[in-house]
Structure 1
Amino acid sequence: MTRLKKGLRYYYKVGSDNGGWSKTHSFVSRNGDSDETTAFMFGDMGTATPYATFSRTQDESISTVKWILRDIEALGDKPAFVSHIGDISYARGYSWLWDQFFSQIEPLASKLPYHVCIGNHEYDWPSQPWKPEWATMYGKDGGGECGVPYSLKFNMPGNSSEPTGTGAPATRNLYYSFDVGSVHFVYISTETNFVQGSKQLEFIKRDLEGVDRRKTPFVVMQGHRPMYTTSNERGDAPMREKMLEHLEPLFVKNNVTLALWGHVHRYERFCQLNNYTCGSVGPVHVVIGMAGQDWQPIWEPRPDHLTDPIYPQPERSLYRGGEFGYTRLVATKQKLTLSYVGNHDGKVHDTLEILASGQVLGVNGAGIKAVDSSSGGAGEPGVIGDSGESTFSWFVKGASLLVLGIFVGYVGGYVSYARKKAGTGNNWTPVKSEDM
């Protein structure tokens, strides 16, 4: 839609006189003069169906849509958009499931722009053209769709595409970027070529180097398969190695603020990472693939997954959630806030705050701030330095030592007093020095 005025609510219907018209919908157009940014972001949602289509369907997707609708209503006339980063409908070759999916997201997509990037369940098939020797994870996840429904049912910015090597249309909507308020968003494909010499890698280089940080101080990268995860994704290990080799240096060099990933069906927030190391450089990585699909080995015991293994949490992983949900991004030119909302109660369970200066603050569900500070040392209360320990934790340690010292001093003083008192009482017999 072109020639829209900025930040104005439009009302519209869809259809024709012959075929009939929809009910009246409305949306608020983007305001290019505003510094504010609001987005609802998640991966791996799928759709709920009244039929037993697969062993595990995506019934939780209903709750995801419900809570995002609540947040949209609370926005009033503020514009926003939805970001669905891969594994869209889980149709896997059954076209009627795409219809079911679009019916389910209509309350969202009729009000907000619905941005997507491609996932393995839209694309992967053994005959796809890009299948390097190290990409052992490419199977029949797409059910033979080979990216065709994904390419034709969505129309994203840019003109990125890759040939399929068959008579099917080229795969579209692979990598693109745009500005909204104070944030520059970049979408990439983890299912097509991103290594040295690829068109996608050249696009990412040019795009990141051209970002005007005075206009958009925050840069958010989004793709499907994660660069970092603590789940049991052994099959994707070669993929992550190539991402670390070809993509991470670009992220670090160009000061990417935040990297969001799907594929793993849980929420997980990391520190600022560069080559598996927490520090003051590199983006904060967050896995947000918890919008509906459910099969992932878990981190905490759940009554309906008693036989699934549980994986330990390393220090670089600062928060892991076992519940379904979505994330809500709100940004101004001063600060970007990412909140994890749980479907089970509609409440925020983890919050990440990043200042335009690059300082990273994170508030977990317990209300304790944690994440690396760009200063590399003790800063404001709750800010973490490179040591990975917050000022708050140092305060607790110091207070504990002080209390321990007071206790030891009290005990020592009491013992000394008791001995002195015993020396002046009648419960001892004096002796002469020569008798001693």
Structure 2
Amino acid sequence: MESCNWVLKYASILLVLFYRSSSSTYATPISSFSPSPLELVIMNTTSLHQSYTALSDFRLINRRFLETCSAPSSSVQINISSSKSTLSNDEFVTVTVTGVKNPSEGDWVAMISPSNSNVGACPLNEAYYIQTGDIAKLPLLCHYPIKAQLLQNDPEYLSCKKKGCSGSLKFHVVNIRSDIEFAFFSGGYLNPCLVTRSNPIKFDNPKMPLYGHLSSIDSTATSMRLTWVSGDNQPQQVQYGDGKKVTSEVTTFSQNDMCSNPTIPSPAKDFGWHDPGYIHSAPGALSVIKAITDEVKSNNVNSIFHIGDISYATGFLAEWDYFLQLINPIASKVPYMTAIGNHERDYIASGSVYVTPDSGGECGVPYETYFPMPVQEKDKPWYSIEQASVHFTIISTEHNLLPNSEQYQWIQKDLASVNREKTPWLVFMGHRQMYHSGKILNEDKIFVSIIEPLLLQYKVKTWSLKRISEFGYLRGHATRTELKLELVNSGTRKVEDTFRITK
């Protein structure tokens, strides 16, 4: 009996899966209205994003809360403890600051890349953070620090009574290709005072192929694509099966590809930019991954669907590398299929139907480059695939869905093409929700009026699961006669809600 198991990451609604980070009114195509100036969006950003945007734990990994502090007067040195003079692809380094005469609560260390970046004070950069919905207290530098930590995280730092005090911090470093350095600041985040900088440190091999992840190539899901990142712009080769080889196709994107605003530049266009390296893709047969999929058979997972809000980089490009490193253990073993969301696509006057700055100026370019799905062409990120007894239809809630739109016509054609004898189950997914039982966000009535009739016409039943406030995932198992779905709380691993359908 054919069966299929999958995990939906950060999704919320059963069968019709729309994540909850939307506003309550579906927007008309961008060409039909005049967008408000970016400044007006920023003015109301706190309430806007607190109501409609969920902040992931990953997004806060690189963004520490920093309090105002007094500037110490000291002459200090920075020592970096690593296994060797260059950095490996993934390691923790210990950074020790010595010679501090008057330790302060506001002393902090930043990891900077590339090492020649401008780390002077830029107080107006607060607007760059705020426009992405990040209202945390952050270091306002001219160049976004990859990571930052308070020295008081070392419990012995503030209690030191010596003439020359020291503090040590651990930083997680992954290969982002450009060299890095560490900088010690005093004066807090509003008035940072650069005390000293370390010597630059390079990676062992900036051209190393890294962060490989699998996805299906076409709607049949009978072949796979391997995608990875490297600092090398020359094609690389993948070996699989009985010595077969395939050469990669190479692509990248530049700062000029990012969206922005003439009044306030977006993070992606300005101080959040980081060279993405070169993205390699190589197609192959299912036999390419047979050996590694055997490792996950014990977990009974055939594929993963991550429906929007992928990395939460929101214009700070180095965070994509950390996210790719984070998912590598699972995405390199089973297909990691994705859908675009507001934090990947939306920006002012960029063609997205929602007029928000949620992508930080990325406008879908990094997402579509790092995660090539079986779509028809760029910036049309809707597709369908079949796995065993399930037909998956993946849409973009950030693009026009009105009846005369290209996406609507595609959805109608795709639903009509499903052979229920071959694939008795049809799962329809998109990032934003169509229904909501909460008090703040109600269902989008225009959205419902557009999509619901199509689903009913093609006998796609809509079901709702109990909402949980924490991030969770949907675990599904399908045979030809039964579909079972469970909503799992990712923190407690408790099954919060479940249902099953039988034929």
Query: Given the two structures, how large is their TM-score scaled by the length of structure 2?
Result: 0.44
Q: Which has the higher strand share?
A: 2
Name the larger-Rg structure.
Answer: 1
